[in-house]
Structure formats: structure tokens, C-alpha cells
């Protein structure tokens, strides 16, 4: 990879730019709008949003008003937790597209495998959702379909009824939280791993070992995190609403972390906490 627009190839041949711009907690309205406009100006061509973030309207407006042809931007959204099951998924997708003001999505993900609303019947709810995803995919309304926060048992369950396998699993991957078991399984399944919270939602900036690593390479802690992610073959999703950070987070293609330092960073176990257990979430 040499720039933010270089791509991974999904199992269906679709190209996906290797860095995605995160928008969770980028408030709907001027903040999310300007963050996405700034990201597009800085060169990002991959934007990650979700119905649950409440900012699809601003993200869509920023894309529409950017002047960049729609097909040059890769856009992801996610199905909200209360909307699992075939009928609800179909309605939720329509709402997402109305909010965005666009006519297709590049990637649609099931945000969580086991929301509180479906704890008793998550298997059936996910199967219905996936049927809807497959239909929307076949109709050309979504270019790729995937999952988020799924662990091995959730994926195995989904595959029992799926006709099309998920192409992406978006999970929390950051220094000290490497989720080795699910990563290994997704790789066996030829599923691309997207790395969310690549900075541990900002907590990584306080970790002394990471500050030392940044000094050693003459880079920022953020740049070290993103480089670590890419060298692991993940697709990182950095979020920022600050123009200088948005731009500096793209400057990660002019250095390489040594094998030894990759190991040191991976081994900072728990330095910014761990991913939620998706079977225990309260939302
Ligand atoms: N699928 C899921 O369940 C899920 C869950 C969480 C996140 N995600 C996705 O992943 C994206 C990223 O994860 P995240 O939002 O949790 O957090 P993150 O990207 O790990 O961290 C974001 C924080 O880091 C700060 N930051 C960014 N660049 C910086 C820099 N160069 N120097 C110093 N601080 C910097 C940001 O501040 P400012 O914004 O104030 O600049 C913000 O406080 C999300 O936005 C979302 O798209 C998905």
C-alpha cells in the first residue's frame, strides 16, 4: 500500500480503499459534514458511518456536495440493533438511503450479532437480516455485504443459512487488543478485517510505550497505530473531527515498523482495554 486510495480486494472482486474515515461521535450537522469534507479533501475515499451514529444525513450531504464522482468514494453504513430480521432490515436500509440521499451503498454491515432486543432468537433474526442483505446485494443496491463485532460462533451460525458469505468483519483491533482467534478464523474464510477504534477511542495517546515508539520512528502515536494496523493486513478506520489530525493520519506510507516492534505493539495487552463481549452488550 502506498496511499490512502490503494485498495484491498474483497472476495467478490470489489476494491476497497485501505484506510476508512471513521465518523462515530462526529455529531450530525456541521461537525460531521465538515469532518467528511475535510477527509475527502485530505484524500480519503472511504467513509464509515452507521444508522446508530445518527449522522448519515450529514455524511451523505458531504459526499454529494464534494464534487467527487460517487463511484470514486467507498461508503459503508450499518444496520441498527433494533432492526434485525428480514422486514425490519428492508425498511432500515430504505431509511439509511433516504438519510444519505444516495442511491447505492458500497458496503452494508450487521452492526452487532446479538443485540439485547433479539437475545432469545438472534440466530433467526440474523438469518432474516442476511436474506435481506443478499437480496439488496443481488439487486445492485449494495456492492458488498458484511458483519461487525461477530465472533466465530456468530459467523458459523450465519453460514448455516447464508447463500453469500460475508466479505468483511469490522471489529475492534488496536494495540494490545488483537482478537487473535476471530482474526485467524476470518482469514481462513477470506474475510477482510476492518479495524475499528484503531486509537482505542483516544486512550492510546496516553500509553508510554507508544509514545516511546513514536519518538523512535519520528512519527505520531496515531501514525504508529495505523501503520501497525496496515502491516497486520487490517483496514484501519481512524476517526477525527480535527483537520490537522485528519490530514496527518494519512501520512503513514513512508515508513515501516520492524517485525520486533510489531510484536511489541501487539503485546501491549489490554493497554487500552478490550472489545465488548457481543453476547453481553446492553444495547
Ligand atoms: N462497528 C462498530 O461497532 C464500531 C465501534 C466503534 C467504532 N467504529 C468505527 O471506527 C471508527 C474509529 O473508531 P473510534 O471513533 O471508536 O475511535 P478512534 O479512531 O480509535 O479514536 C478517535 C479519537 O482519537 C482522536 N484522534 C484522532 N486522530 C488523532 C491524532 N492524530 N492525534 C490525537 N488524537 C487523535 C480523536 O479526536 P478528534 O476527533 O477530537 O480529533 C478521537 O477522540 C469510528 O468512528 C467508527 O466509524 C465502529
pLDDT digits (tens, 9 = 90+) for 23-58: 999 999 999 999 999 999 999 999 999 999 999 999
Q: Which three cell numbers stand for residue 219?
A: 512519527
Alpha-carbon span 148 to 171, nearest angstrom: 6
pLDDT value of position 145 = 99
Residue 48, ligand 1, Cβ within 6 A: yes
Q: What digits encode the pLDDT tens for the residues 138-150?
A: 999 999 999 999 9
Q: Which cell numbers in the block locate residue 9?
A: 480486494
Give CA separation, 154 vs 112, 116, 142, in Å.
Answer: 10, 15, 22
Q: What percent of the chain lies above the pLDDT cut of 70?
A: 100
Q: What is the pLDDT of residue 45?
A: 98
Q: What CA–CA distance (Å, rounded) separates 47 from 102?
A: 14
b/e burial code for range 240-277 (CB count within 10 A of at least 16 → b): bbeeebbbbbbebbeeebeeebeebbeebeebbeebee
Whether 93 and 61 have beta carbons less than 8 Å apart is answered as: no
**Is 53 an annotated catalytic residue?**
yes
Question: Ligand 1 pocket, 248 CB below 6 A?
Answer: yes
248 grid coordinates: 496527518
In percent, the amount of the chain with pLDDT more than 90 equals 100
149 Cα to the center of ligand 1, angstroms: 16
> What does the radius of gyration of the chain's CA atoms come to, in whole angstroms?
18
Catalytic residue among 53, 108, 137, 196: 53
> Cα of 191 to ligand 1 centre, how many Å?
23
Confirm if 100 and 59 have CB atoms less than 8 A apart: yes
Most informative mutation of 239, 246, 252, 275 for ligand 1 (most atoms within 8 A of CB): 239
Residues in the chain: 283
What is the Cα–Cα distance from 251 to 233, expressed in whole angstroms? 17
pLDDT tens-digit map of 61-85: 999 999 999 999 999 999 999 999 9
Q: What is the pTM for the complete model shown?
A: 0.99
Atom of ligand 1 at shortest distance to CA of 196?
A: 10
Distance CA 237, CA 148 (A): 13
Q: 24 C-alpha vs ligand 1 centroid, how far in Å?
A: 7
Is 196 near ligand 1, meaning CB less than 6 Å away?
Answer: yes
- pLDDT tens across 138-181, in order? 999 999 999 999 999 999 999 999 999 999 999 999 999 999 99
End-to-end CA distance of the chain: 37
State in Å: Cα 213 to ligand 1 middle: 20
Residue 278 Cβ contacting ligand 1 at under 6 Å: no
Quick one: three-class SS letters along the chain?
CCCCCCEEECCCCCEEECCCEECCCCCCCHHHHHHHHHHHHHCCCEEECCHHHCCHHHHHHHHHHCCCCHHHCEEEEEECHHHCCHHHHHHHHHHHHHHHCCCCEEEEEECCCCCHHHCCCHHHHHHHHHHHHHHHHHCCCEEEEEEECCCHHHHHHHHCCCCCCCCEEEEECECCECCHHHHHHHHHCCCEEEEECCCCCCHHHHCHHHHHHHHHHCCCHHHHHHHHHHHCCCEECCECCCHHHHHHCCCCCCCCCCHHHHHHHHCCCCECECCCCCCCCCC
Cβ(113) – ligand 1 distance below 6 Å: no
Ligand 1 atom closest to residue 35's alpha carbon, by position in its atom list: 39
Pocket test for ligand 1, best of 240, 249, 273, 276 (most atoms within 8 A of CB): 240
Give residue 227's pLDDT.
98
Residue nearest to atom 13 of ligand 1 (CA): 197
27 lines ligand 1 (CB under 6 A): no
Q: What is the pLDDT of residue 210?
A: 98
- C-alpha cell of 269? 495487552
Amino acid at each position: 500500500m502506498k496511499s490512502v486510495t490503494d485498495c484491498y480486494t474483497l472476495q467478490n472482486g470489489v476494491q476497497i480503499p485501505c484506510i476508512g474515515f471513521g465518523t462515530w461521535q462526529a455529531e450530525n450537522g456541521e461537525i460531521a459534514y465538515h469532518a467528511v469534507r475535510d477527509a475527502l479533501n485530505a484524500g480519503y475515499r472511504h467513509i464509515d458511518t452507521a444508522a446508530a451514529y445518527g449522522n448519515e444525513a450529514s455524511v451523505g450531504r458531504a459526499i454529494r456536495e464534494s464534487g467527487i464522482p460517487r463511484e470514486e468514494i467507498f461508503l459503508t453504513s450499518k444496520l441498527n440493533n433494533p432492526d434485525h430480521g428480514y422486514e425490519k432490515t428492508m425498511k432500515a436500509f430504505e431509511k439509511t438511503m433516504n438519510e444519505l440521499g444516495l442511491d447505492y451503498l458500497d458496503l452494508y454491515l450487521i452492526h452487532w450479532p446479538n443485540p439485547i432486543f433479539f437475545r432469545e432468537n438472534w440466530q433467526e433474526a440474523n438469518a432474516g437480516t442476511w436474506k435481506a442483505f443478499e437480496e439488496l446485494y443481488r439487486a445492485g443496491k449494495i456492492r458488498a455485504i458484511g458483519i461487525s463485532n461477530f465472533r466465530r460462533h456468530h459467523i458459523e451460525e450465519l453460514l448455516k443459512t447464508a447463500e453469500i458469505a460475508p466479505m468483511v468483519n469490522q471489529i475492534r483491533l488496536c494495540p494490545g487488543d488483537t482478537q487473535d482467534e476471530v482474526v485467524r478464523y476470518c482469514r481462513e474464510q477470506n474475510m477482510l478485517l476492518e479495524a475499528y477504534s484503531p486509537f482505542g477511542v483516544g486512550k492510546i495517546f496516553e500509553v508510554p510505550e507508544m509514545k516511546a515508539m513514536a519518538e523512535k520512528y519520528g512519527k505520531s502515536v496515531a501514525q504508529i497505530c495505523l501503520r501497525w494496523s496496515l502491516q497486520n493486513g487490517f483496514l484501519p478506520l481512524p476517526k477525527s473531527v480535527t483537520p490537522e489530525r485528519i490530514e496527518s493520519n494519512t501520512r503513514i506510507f513512508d515508513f515501516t515498523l520492524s517485525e520486533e516492534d510489531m510484536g511489541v505493539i501487539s503485546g501491549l495487552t489490554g493497554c487500552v482495554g478490550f472489545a465488548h463481549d457481543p453476547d453481553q452488550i446492553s444495547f
